[in-house]
Structure 1
Amino acid sequence: MEAAAGAEIANDLSPFLRTYKDGRVERLVSNNFVPASEAPGANGIATRDVVIDPATGVSARLFLSVAAAATGKKHPIIVYNHGGGFCTGSAFSKLFHRYASSLSARAGALVVSVDYRLAPEHPIPAAFDDGWAALRWVTTFADPWLAFHGDHTRTFLAGESAGAVIAHNVLARAATPEGDDIDIEGMVLLHPFFWSHQRLPLEIDDGQKEGPKPLFVPEKLDNFFSFLLGSTEDHPCAYPPVEVVASLPCRRALVAVAARDLARHRGRRYAERLQRHGKLCREVTFLESEGEDHAFHLYRTTRPSAVALMDSVVKFIDGGERTPPLPNKKPVVERGLLHDPAMNLSVGAYDKVCWDNLVANGSSAGNNQIRITPRPMVRNALVVRPGKSASSVLSFGGLVKNGPMKIF
Structure 2
Amino acid sequence: MPGATVAVGSDGDDEVVHDFSPLLLVYRSGRLERPLIVPPVPPGRDAATGVESKDVPLSPSSFVRLYLPPAADSAGDKKANKLPVVVYFHGGGFVIGSAASCVYHRFLNDLAAVSVDYRVAPEHALPAAYEDSLAALEWALSAADPWLAAHGDLARVFLAGDSSGGSICHHLAMHPDVTRWGRLKGVVLLLLIHPWFWGKEPVSGEKEHRRSPRKRAEEARGGRKLLWELVCPGAADGVDDPRMNPTAPGAPALEGLACERAMVCVAEGNHLRWRGVAYAQDGQRWSCSSRRGFGHVFYLLDPEMEEAKRLLGRIAALVRAK
TM range (shorter): 0.7 to 0.9
Q: Residue 306 of structure 1: which of 305, 308, 316 is its match?
A: 308
Higher relative contact order (CA 8 A, sep 6+): 2
Q: Paired residue for 2:38?
A: 31
Q: How does 1:2-151 map to 2 (within 5 A)?
A: 6=9, 7-37=14-44, 39-54=45-60, 57-72=61-76, 73-104=81-112, 111-151=113-153
Instruction: Give the structure 1 partner of residue 293 of structure 2.
Output: 291
- Please state whether the residue corresponding to 2:205 is helix, strand or coil: helix
Give unpaired runs (5+ residues) of structure 2.
none
Q: What is the deviation of 1:181?
A: 5.7
Question: How does the TM-score come out when normalised to structure 1?
Answer: 0.68
Residue 263 of structure 1: how far off its partner (Å): 0.6
Instruction: For residue 260 of structure 2, give the secondary structure of its aligned residue in structure 1.
Output: strand
Note the aligned Cα RMSD (angstroms). Answer: 2.6
Residue 71 of structure 1 deviates from its aligned partner by 3.1
2:276 to 263, 267, 274: 267
Any residues of structure 2 matched to 1:146-295 within 5 Å, and which?
146-173=148-175, 174-177=177-180, 182-207=185-210, 223-230=226-233, 233=238, 234-241=240-247, 243-275=252-284, 283-295=285-297
Do the aligned partners of 1:63 and 1:112 also contact (CA within 8 Å) in 2? yes
Distance verdict in 2 for CA 1:5–1:116, change over 3 Å: same
8 Å contact kept, 2:46–2:109: no
- Could you tell me how far 1:180 is from its partner in structure 2? 7.8
Whether the 8 Å contact between 2:90 and 2:99 is mirrored in structure 1 is yes
Distance in 2 (CA, whole Å) between partners of 1:259 and 1:160 is 15
Q: Distance in 1 between matches of 2:302 and 2:198?
A: 25
* Distance across 1 between alignment mates of 2:225 and 2:313: 34
Q: For residue 194 of structure 1, what is the amino acid of its counterpart?
A: F
Question: 1:284, CA displacement in angstroms?
Answer: 2.6
Report how far residue 260 of structure 1 moved.
1.5
TM-superposed CA distance for 1:222, in Å, is: 6.6
| Pairwise CA distance, 1:318 | 1.1
Whichever residue aligns with residue 128 of structure 1, its letter is Y
After TM superposition, give the deviation of residue 3 of structure 1 in Å.
8.0
SS in 1 for 2:38: coil
Aligned pair in 2 of structure 1 residues 205, 10: CA closer, same or farther (>3 Å)?
Answer: closer
Paired with 2:225 and 2:246, the residues of 1 have a C-alpha distance of: 16
Specify the code of the residue in structure 2 equivalent to 1:161: S
Q: Deviations over 1:103-137 (max 9, x none)?
A: 12xxxxxx110011000011011111111111100
**Secondary structure of 1:119 counterpart:** coil
Gaps (5+ residues) in structure 1? Answer: 105-110, 276-282, 321-408
Helix, strand or coil for the counterpart of 1:28?
Answer: coil
- 1:306 match: secondary structure: helix
**Structure whose alpha-carbon radius of gyration is higher:** 1
Structure 2 vs 1, CA of residues 250 and 168 (structure 1 numbering), >3 Å: closer, same or farther? same
* Cα distance in structure 2, aligned partners of 1:296 and 1:40: 22
**Shift, 1:228, TM fit:** 2.1
Q: TM-score, normalised by structure 2?
A: 0.85
Q: Distance in 2 between matches of 1:317 and 1:8?
A: 48
1:71-106 deviations in Å (ceiling 9; x for gaps)? 3221010110011111001100101111111112xx
Q: For the structure 1 residues 133 and 119, does the alpha-carbon distance in structure 2 shift closer, same or farther, using more than 3 Å as the test?
A: same
Q: 1:291 to 1:147 in 2, by over 3 A?
A: same
Using a 3 Å threshold, how does the CA distance of structure 1 residues 187 and 127 change in structure 2: closer, same or farther? same
The structure carrying a bigger helix percent of its residues is 2
